[in-house]
C-alpha cells in the first residue's frame, strides 16, 4: 500500500459523467490515492499514458472512438501499467472483460454507484482492489529476487497413487492464455486440472462459465471438499487461497493472510507439492509479479515436470520470469507448445505405469 504522503496516481477512463463522479468520489476521499487524469475514451487514454503514465488505470469497456479492450491492448504494448477494468456490469460484459484481461488488464469489477446521501455503493470493493493492485505494483517495482533451494536436489518421494494432476497458475493475460492452452487438450485427457487465476471473487463464476463455453473440457468453480477428477477443470473461486489438503480434497484458507496475491498460486503449488500422492505437472503462465515461482520450484523438487510460459508469448513476463530466475521450470515454452507438452507428459506417465505393471 502506498505511503499516505505519496498517494498513488489513478487515471480514469470512462465516458459516463455519473461513473466518473462516483470514481472521483471514492478516490478523492481516500488518503492513499489521487486522480492523475481523466480520459473520455480509449484513444485519449493511449495518448495520455504516453504523456503521464499513472500508477493504476481504471478502464471502462464500451466507449466511443476506441473501446477499452483495444485501448488496453495498445497501452500494454507501448506504455505498460496496471489496468483494472471498471464497468457498469462485469457479468453482462464478461466476453469483453476477458478480452481486456487477455490483453493485459489485471482484473475487472463493477463501477461504484454514487448514492443520494453521499455514500457510494461498491466503494469498499474498489478500495480493496486498489490496495491489492498497489501492493502488486510496489512489489513489481522493487523486484526483490526470491530464493529457493536448487530445484533438482530433492528426489521424488514414492507415489501413493497413479492419479495425475495438472496445476496451473496465471495472472495478467491469463484468461486468453488459459483459453489457448485448454483448447489444445483433448476431452479424454487422463488428468485432472486445477487453475488458480488472479481474479476477483465476484467475477470468478463468470470466468469459469466463460472458460466452460470456450473449451471442450468441462470447467467449474472448485468447491470445498472436491476431489480433482480426470477430464475436469476446477477453477479457484474465492479470494481465500485454494489448497490441496492432506486427504487429497480441495479447500480454501485465508492463510497466509499477508500474501498480496489472492488466491495465491504459490499457496496452491506448495500444497500440491506437500500432499499430492500421484503424478503432477506444474504450469506457470503470464502475469505481473512473482507469485507461483517458489511454488513451481517446490513441484520441481518432487521430480515433476514444471513449465513456464516464455517471454515472447506472455502478456506480462513477470511470474514466468521469476520462475526462470529460480530455475523452477524444467521447460520454458511458447504458449502454443504447452498443451502438446502436457499431453506428452501424460503419455509418458502412462507408459511408465505400463512398464511397471509388466516388469
Dihedral over alpha carbons 202, 209, 278, 330 (to 10 degrees):
-80
Q: Which amino acids are annotated catalytic?
A: 171, 198, 291
**Smallest Cα–Cα separation from 292: which of 174, 138, 206?**
174
CB 346 within 8 A of CB 321: no
Residues constituting the chain: 359
Amino acid at each position: 500500500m502506498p505511503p499516505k504522503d505519496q498517494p498513488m496516481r489513478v487515471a480514469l477512463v470512462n465516458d459516463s459523467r455519473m461513473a466518473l463522479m462516483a470514481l472521483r468520489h471514492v478516490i478523492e476521499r481516500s488518503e492513499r490515492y489521487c486522480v492523475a487524469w481523466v480520459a473520455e475514451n480509449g484513444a485519449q487514454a493511449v495518448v495520455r499514458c504516453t504523456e503521464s503514465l499513472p500508477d493504476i488505470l481504471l478502464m471502462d469497456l464500451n466507449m466511443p472512438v476506441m473501446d477499452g479492450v483495444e485501448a488496453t491492448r495498445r497501452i500494454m504494448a507501448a506504455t505498460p501499467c496496471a489496468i483494472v477494468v471498471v464497468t457498469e456490469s462485469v457479468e453482462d460484459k464478461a466476453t469483453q472483460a476477458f478480452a481486456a484481461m487477455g490483453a493485459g488488464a489485471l482484473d475487472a469489477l463493477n463501477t461504484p454507484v454514487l448514492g443520494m446521501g453521499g455514500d457510494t455503493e461498491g466503494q469498499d470493493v474498489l478500495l480493496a482492489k486498489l490496495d491489492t493492485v498497489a501492493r502488486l505494483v510496489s512489489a513489481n517495482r522493487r523486484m526483490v529476487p526470491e530464493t529457493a533451494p536448487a530445484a533438482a536436489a530433492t528426489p521424488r518421494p514414492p507415489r501413493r497413487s497413479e492419479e495425475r494432476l495438472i496445476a496451473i497458475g496465471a495472472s495478467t493475460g491469463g484468461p486468453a492464455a488459459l483459453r489457448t492452452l485448454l483448447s489444445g487438450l483433448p476431452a479424454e485427457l487422463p488428468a485432472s486440472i486445477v487453475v488458480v487465476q488472479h481474479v476477483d471473487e465476484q467475477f470468478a463464476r463468470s470466468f469459469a462459465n466463460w472458460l466452460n463455453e470456450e473449451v471442450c473440457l468441462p470447467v467449474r468453480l472448485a468447491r470445498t471438499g472436491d476431489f480433482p477428477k480426470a477430464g475436469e477443470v476446477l477453477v479457484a473461486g474465492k479470494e481465500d487461497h485454494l489448497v490441496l489438503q492432506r486427504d487429497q480434497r480441495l479447500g480454501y484458507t485465508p492463510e497466509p493472510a499477508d500474501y498480496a496475491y489472492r488466491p495465491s498460486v504459490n499457496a496452491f503449488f506448495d500444497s500440491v507439492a506437500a500432499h499430492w500422492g500421484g503424478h503432477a505437472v506444474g504450469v506457470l503462465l503470464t502475469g505481473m509479479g512473482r507469485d507461483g515461482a517458489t511454488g513451481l520450484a517446490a513441484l520441481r523438487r518432487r521430480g515433476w515436470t514444471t513449465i513456464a510460459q516464455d517471454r515472447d508469448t506472455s502478456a506480462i513476463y513477470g511470474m514466468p520470469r521469476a520462475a526462470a530466475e529460480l530455475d523452477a521450470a524444467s521447460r520454458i515454452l511458447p504458449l502454443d507448445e504447452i498443451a502438446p507438452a502436457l499431453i506428452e507428459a501424460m503419455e509418458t506417465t502412462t507408459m511408465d505405469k505400463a512398464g511397471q505393471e509388466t516388469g
